[in-house]
Structure 1
Amino acid sequence: MKKFRPQHAIAGLLASLSATFAWAAEKAEPWQLNMTPGVTATAERAYDMHMIMLWICVVIGIVVFGAMAYSIVKFRKSKGAVPDKTFVHSTKLEIVWTAIPTLILVVMAYPATVKVIEAYDTKDHEMTVKIIGQQWLWTYEYVGEGVSFTSRLDRQSDRLRQSGVVVDSSNPNYLLDVDNRLVLPTDTKIRFIITADDVIHAWWVPALGWKSDAIPGIVNEQWTEIREPGIYRGQCAELCGKDHGFMPIVVEAVPKAEFQARLAAMKSANDETARTASAVPAAAGPQG
């Protein structure tokens, strides 16, 4: 049994945090404080709602704190202000300051609810991808295409992190690369069905604008439609065990024609692997 070494645990924690911070900074600009719009309709809706709520809160803050500042300065004790002991209760005023916040909440809740419903509407999808979370890798399947594969931390990063390396300055994607990327077509509505084999995981690619739990025995649904080709990175976002921080996700979005060519190559590779596997027992069988 391997002896527990605190320094290795600390190094692993630091490596996990550095990977998270590196991912967070991947698409951010220097001193960026706001969300990024993302590359899907879902991400854009989340960004738009964020901006609407932000400006509503800014206006409320200006009104509330402006009134407070005015009252503090105008009616300060040093200028002779005296509390009005005759004013005890005003039904009209209470109705006003109850009705206005209620109206504001309704105005904020309606568009948010509409956008949440749209985010889970998978009808009219053009393809389905099955995602299974496992300790500590992902299994992907293009449903109906006969292609499935696993995706885990790339071997170079895995070798380095097991040797105790916290940051690899020569590789900007250290701990954020995988051996097999999930290739998806752009401008295609893709339905995801997500579950897990062992413990709870969470599949999260921020550029896509959503996160979904992968829970054993439960199938969750999401969808996406990527508008821009590119490589988008994420990570498991649910603490799932000792190697939780080494479970990255890499999505490669390509044009439809290129995706079909890549899918055909994966099918051919799978068929070749199946033929090789079926031939081995026959070759190794007893001689008559």
Structure 2
Amino acid sequence: MAFQFLKKAGMGLMLAVWSLAAHAEYAWNFPKPVTPMAADTLLVHNKFMVIIMVIFVVVLGIMIYSIIRHRKSVGHKAADFTGPSTRSQVIWTLVPFAILLYIDFILMGIPAYHSVVLMEDTKNDSEMVIKVTGSQWRWQYEYMDGEAQGIKFVSNMTTPQEQIQNKTEKGEHYLLEVDNHVVLPVDKKVRILLTSNDVIHTWWVPAFGAARDAIPGFLRETWVKIEEPGTYRGQCKELCGKGHGFMPVVVDAVPEEQFKEWVASKKTEMSAASAGADKEWSKDELLTQGKAVYEKNCAVCHQPGGQGMPPAFPALTGSKIVTAPNFDADGKLMKDSHIDRVFNGKGMMPAWKGTLSDTDIAAVISYERNALGNSMGDLVQPSQIKALR
């Protein structure tokens, strides 16, 4: 009777768990899968959970049955033998081994192998390539082929400091909003190349079922084929330093025609930025633009007021580099000058020449030399930066 009760109770528990899993909101489960990789991963996960639950219920049921059925109060006595026969030992070793072998290799191994092969299939049928570069603490995206080839931009988190410091109400996408979204077409296989400028980062969007480390000095790969239009959010899930929690990923999946419109708009924007390098900028224009660039790209390390976080991130206020001349008496750029440091980087300082436009580099240098407690009075024009390229 006890065994029948336990059997029915176990089946009831399994059905209840399965029902809850099938109808659970994604807030308490995996996010809704929107790529073949994510769908396959969720399928394998659910299958494994059922197998594990069955094993758990069976083993627990046998344990409880044995405890109740063979307890001392109903007259059972402990056996006085010192050990079972060799034959029994062999049987009770081989039978569980055979069962677990079947479960591991047939029920679980084959689906897992299929998932791993699917994850690593980055090249077959890929219709588009995008390069993702991680740095502390932002992502840089570069479209490598097709009609979007040449588009390149940096994506920075835009959550206001007031929200981070609990001075105002937190927004809907707290720590998960950026200034430049990645835009990808739906129903196209996109091959993603990953690398890093400094430490290990991880490009991760849960709805895509893809998480791959970006490692300095290496190109790693993953892929996505988004099947539903929408905006999908993720973040770096590697402990990459102080700003680890401020490195979100935002991807807009759009129909093909809308993607083409975005490509045309982005290229027009880039052309306008390039044309801006040929005009003479006023001091107010440079400082206004420089302040915006600084707050997006520099404040996370050097702090909004320029005080830095020595020794890792030196202060800009009163800095020898910021207050030193950029050019020597012959008009040549001096090594380790302010322009050289921003343009080419050094140590943990990234080389912004591959990320920011000529206008942005000139503006942020001018801002740092005439704000943040500094008052050098000189300006750097975008044309000077353009000439350095």
Return the TM-score normalized by structure 2.
Answer: 0.61
State the alpha-carbon separation in 2 of the partners of residues 93 and 240 from structure 1. 49
Which of 149, 155, 164 aligns to 1:151? It is 155
Contact conserved, 1:133 with 1:196, CA < 8 A, in 2?
A: yes
Could you say what the CA RMSD is over the residues aligned between the two structures, in angstroms? 2.1
CA offset at residue 34 of structure 1?
2.9
Residue in 2 that maps onto 1:263: 263
Does the C-alpha gap of structure 1 residues 80 and 229 become closer, same or farther in structure 2, counting only changes over 3 Å? same
Residue in 2 that maps onto 1:173: 173
Matched, 1:88 2:88: no
State the alpha-carbon separation in 2 of the partners of residues 237 and 37 from structure 1. 19
State the alpha-carbon separation in 1 of the partners of residues 168 and 78 from structure 2. 62
Contact conserved, 2:277 with 2:383, CA < 8 A, in 1?
A: no
Residue in 2 that maps onto 1:182: 182
Matched, 1:50 2:54: no
State the alpha-carbon separation in 2 of the partners of residues 184 and 52 from structure 1. 31
- Matching residue's letter, 1:104: I
State the alpha-carbon separation in 1 of the partners of residues 37 and 244 from structure 2. 26
CA offset at residue 35 of structure 1?
2.1
Residue in 1 that maps onto 2:298: none
Contact conserved, 2:200 with 2:240, CA < 8 A, in 1?
A: yes
Residue in 2 that maps onto 1:64: 59
Residue in 1 that maps onto 2:130: 129
Residue in 1 that maps onto 2:336: none
Counterpart secondary structure, 1:172: coil
Contact conserved, 1:167 with 1:174, CA < 8 A, in 2?
A: no
Unmatched tracts of structure 1, length 5 or more: 1-27
- Matching residue's letter, 2:126: H
State the alpha-carbon separation in 1 of the partners of residues 251 and 212 from structure 2. 15
Residue in 1 that maps onto 2:162: 160
Matched length: 252
Counterpart secondary structure, 2:160: helix
Matched, 1:97 2:96: yes
Contact conserved, 2:277 with 2:382, CA < 8 A, in 1?
A: no
- Matching residue's letter, 1:132: T
Contact conserved, 2:210 with 2:223, CA < 8 A, in 1?
A: no
Counterpart secondary structure, 2:64: helix
Q: Which moved more, 1:36-45 or 1:271-280?
A: 271-280
CA offset at residue 117 of structure 1?
1.1
* Deviation per residue, 1:231-267 (Å, 9 max, x gap): 1111111111111111111111111110011011111
Q: How does 1:103-118 map to 2 (within 5 A)?
A: 103-107=102-106, 108-118=108-118
Contact conserved, 2:205 with 2:211, CA < 8 A, in 1?
A: yes
State the alpha-carbon separation in 2 of the partners of residues 142 and 56 from structure 1. 43
Residue in 2 that maps onto 1:22: none
Contact conserved, 2:201 with 2:214, CA < 8 A, in 1?
A: yes
Contact conserved, 1:195 with 1:215, CA < 8 A, in 2?
A: yes
CA offset at residue 161 of structure 1?
4.6
- Matching residue's letter, 2:125: D
- Matching residue's letter, 2:162: L
State the alpha-carbon separation in 1 of the partners of residues 167 and 253 from structure 2. 29
Q: How does 1:177-256 map to 2 (within 5 A)?
A: 177-256=177-256
Whose relative contact order is higher, 1 or 2, with alpha carbons under 8 Å and at least 6 apart? 1
Contact conserved, 1:37 with 1:47, CA < 8 A, in 2?
A: no
Residue in 2 that maps onto 1:14: none
Does the C-alpha gap of structure 1 residues 136 and 158 become closer, same or farther in structure 2, counting only changes over 3 Å? farther
State the alpha-carbon separation in 2 of the partners of residues 190 and 248 from structure 1. 20
State the alpha-carbon separation in 2 of the partners of residues 151 and 126 from structure 1. 23
State the alpha-carbon separation in 2 of the partners of residues 278 and 238 from structure 1. 41
CA offset at residue 62 of structure 1?
1.6
State the alpha-carbon separation in 2 of the partners of residues 51 and 37 from structure 1. 14
Unmatched tracts of structure 2, length 5 or more: 1-23, 281-380, 385-389
Larger Rg: 2
Return the TM-score normalized by structure 1.
Answer: 0.82
**Identical amino acids, percent of aligned pairs:** 41
